[in-house]
Amino acid sequence: MKYSAAETSEALALMEKHRAGESGEIGAALVVVGLSAERAAKESQIRDEMIRVAHRSGASIRQLAAVSGLGRKAVSAIVSHSREPRPTALA
């Protein structure tokens, strides 16, 4: 797989943002933690949207809670919110 100069530059800038000026093992760990947190937030957004889709299609709150590993209250909160972004620690 080949990456363009712009893609490479964007990736390096993002890594540097998470590195926060640290070098060595600490800097590398901060990059991994930061990138993982961004990915987890994106996955949560996708999960929440799929919960809404499944609920609109007829899945019950109880079913959604069971398959998602979330509590029924959390699923109810997700279902009750439309496409508004939920606050995250990254925002």
Q: How far apart are CA 45 and CA 72, in angstroms?
A: 18
Residue of higher predicted confidence among 19 and 47 = 47
CB atoms within 10 A of CB 61: 18
In this prediction the pTM is 0.72
What confidence category does residue 20 fall into, taking pLDDT thresholds of 50, 70 and 90? confident
Q: How confident is the prediction for the chain on average, in pLDDT?
A: 90
Helix intervals (H) in the chain: 5-19, 24-56, 61-68, 72-80
